[in-house]
Amino acid sequence: MFTIPKRKKSTKIKQPDARAPIDEIMKYLFGVSKETLINMLNSLFNQKFNPDDVTLIPTNPEFVDESFDIIRGDLFYVVLDKSKPYHLHIECQTRPDGHMIIRVLSYDIKKAVENQQLENKGGIARYILPKTIVIHVEEGKSIPDNYEFELVDMKDDGSEEVIHRVVPVIKYWKLTEKDLIERKLYPLLPLQIFLLRSELKKYANEKDSENKQLLIQQIKELTEKIIVEAKNLAEAGKINKGDDDIIVTALGRLIKYLNDQYKFDEKLGQEVDTVIKSVFTTLKEEGIQEGIKEANIAICEASKRKI
C-alpha cells in the first residue's frame, strides 16, 4: 500500500507570515524608469552599464522548497549586456538581522539553481551565484561593512577548495540626501523618513508635547525637501519624468505606514498632504513665471533682430 510520508519539520529560519508594507514600498520605488534604475544599479554594484545598450529584466524573487514553504528574497535582476547576463540581487533590511548571512546565501543558491534549470545546458551543471548587496536602513552596532563567508569543498586527499564570498553592505543611516543624490541613489530618498522611526515610536504616546510637535515639523520639512529635490532632478534630466511622482507617492505612503504603525498623530497625514499640495502649487507657479520670463526674453531678442 502506498503511504504518504510524514512531512519533516522545516529547519530553515522562519520568515514573517506577511510582507511588511515597507517591502512593497521598496519594490514600488524600484519601479522607476530603466535609465534611473540602471544608474542606481551601477552605483550599488560598481558597474558601468549604459542604459541605451542593455536590457534590464526583473526576475523571480520567490522560491518553493521541498517542504512547499515559500522563501522570499527582495529584488533580483538580470542585466543583458551584449547578450552576456549579469545577475544582481538586492536585499533591503530595515532592522539588524543576525541571520542575514544565512538568508542571503539561501536566496543566492536558490536563484543559481533556478537559473541553471532555465538554461538547461548539457554537460556539467554550472551554478552561478548572483552579485549581491545588502542595504541596511537603520543603525545597528552588529552590522558589518561586508558579510563574508567561505564555501569549502573537502577533497578526498584532505585538501580544500575554498570560495571566499563577500557581500557588500550599504549603511543607509549614514547617507544624507546630498550623499544619495551624488551617488545617483535617487529612488532611495524617501527612506530618509524611515530614519525617524525610533523617534515616532518614542513620542507616540506624548499628547501635544513639544517633542512631538518638533518631530512633526521635522517630518514636514523633510517631506518638502525631498519633493523639491525630486522635482529638481526631473527638471535637470537626472531622472525621467514620472520618476519624481513615484518618489513623492512612495514618500507619502511611507509616512502613512509609520504613522499608522505607531498611532503617532491622527492629523499628521493631513498636514503632510497640505505640505505636498503647497509644494506642488509653488513649483507650478514658479514654472509659469519662468515660462513667462523666457517668453519675454525671446520676444526682446526677436525685436532686436528686426531692428
Q: What is the per-residue DSSP string for 62-101?
A: EEE-TTS-EEE-SEEEEEEETTEEEEEEEEEESS--TTHH
- Say whether pLDDT at 294 is over 70: no
Instruction: Determine the average pLDDT of the residues in 67-71.
Output: 83
Whether 135 and 49 share a structural domain: yes
Instruction: Determine the average pLDDT of the residues in 262-270.
Output: 85
Counted domains in the chain:
2
Asked, for residue 6, whether it belongs to a domain, the answer is no
Asked, for residue 48, whether it belongs to a domain, the answer is yes
Asked, for residue 219, whether it belongs to a domain, the answer is yes
Whether 202 and 127 share a structural domain: no
CA–CA gap between residue 206 and residue 214 (Å, rounded):
12
Instruction: Determine the average pLDDT of the residues in 155-171.
Output: 93
Which of 129, 145, 174 is at the close of a domain? Answer: 174
Give the least confident one: 10-19, 23-32, 224-233, 277-286: 10-19
- Say whether pLDDT at 178 is over 60: yes
How many Cα neighbours within 13 Å face the side chain of 69?
A: 13
Whether 31 and 166 share a structural domain: yes
Whether 152 and 35 share a structural domain: yes
pLDDT at 68: 83
Which of 174, 206, 224 is at the close of a domain? Answer: 174
Whether 28 and 170 share a structural domain: yes
pLDDT at 274: 86
- Position with higher pLDDT, 251 vs 208: 251
**DSSP code string of 20-49:** -HHHHHHHHHTTS-HHHHHHHHHHHHT---
Asked, for residue 141, whether it belongs to a domain, the answer is yes
Asked, for residue 184, whether it belongs to a domain, the answer is no
Whether 142 and 204 share a structural domain: no
Which of 140, 174, 208 is at the close of a domain? Answer: 174
Count CB-CB contacts under 10 A for residue 230.
23
Instruction: Determine the average pLDDT of the residues in 176-193.
Output: 95
- Say whether pLDDT at 144 is over 70: yes
Instruction: Determine the average pLDDT of the residues in 5-18.
Output: 46
Asked, for residue 8, whether it belongs to a domain, the answer is no
Whether 135 and 34 share a structural domain: yes
pLDDT at 295: 40
Whether 30 and 170 share a structural domain: yes
- Say whether pLDDT at 3 is over 80: no
- Say whether pLDDT at 160 is over 60: yes
Whether 194 and 83 share a structural domain: no
b/e burial code for range 55-84 (CB count within 10 A of at least 16 → b): ebeebebebeeeeeeebebbbbbbbeeeee
Whether 306 and 259 share a structural domain: yes
Asked, for residue 182, whether it belongs to a domain, the answer is no
Whether 168 and 194 share a structural domain: no
Whether 161 and 276 share a structural domain: no
Q: Structural domain of residue 143, as residue ranges?
A: 13-174
Asked, for residue 155, whether it belongs to a domain, the answer is yes
